[in-house]
Amino acid sequence: MFPELTARDTSKYAAALQQVVVAAALAVEKKFITAATALKLINAVAGRLGVEIDADHELADALDAAGRRAEEDVFTEPPAGS
């Protein structure tokens, strides 16, 4: 358990979280790390803010949601007048 956060601590960790999210996303995009590793990095900083993330569960949920969105985006009707 971490000690009580001050406003300054919260601001510092919030800024760090933003930087880690951006860096992790870029590293995944460039294929330097896996998405699971990126979420573990994000969880390390989020934990300092009192937010715990189950990286494996979160990744599975995100992939499922992305798959559903992709299915919904598929063009299924021919254009009018064809």
Cα(61)–Cα(46) distance, rounded to whole angstroms? 18
Query: Hey, how many other C-beta atoms are within 10 angstroms of the C-beta on 69?
Result: 9
pLDDT in tens, 19-42: 999 999 999 999 999 999 999 999
Contact present, 77 and 64 (Cβ < 8 Å): no
pTM over cut 0.85:
no
Instruction: For tokens 């870029």, name the residue.
Output: 26
Through-space distance between the first and last CA atoms of the chain, rounded to whole angstroms: 64
Token output for 60: 């599975």
Q: How far is Cα 43 from Cα 13, in angstroms, rounded to an integer?
A: 12
What are the pLDDT tens digits along the chain (82 aa)? 556 667 777 889 899 999 999 999 999 999 999 999 999 999 999 998 889 989 899 999 999 999 998 888 766 666 676 5
What are the residue boundaries of the structural domains of the chain, listed by start?
8-73
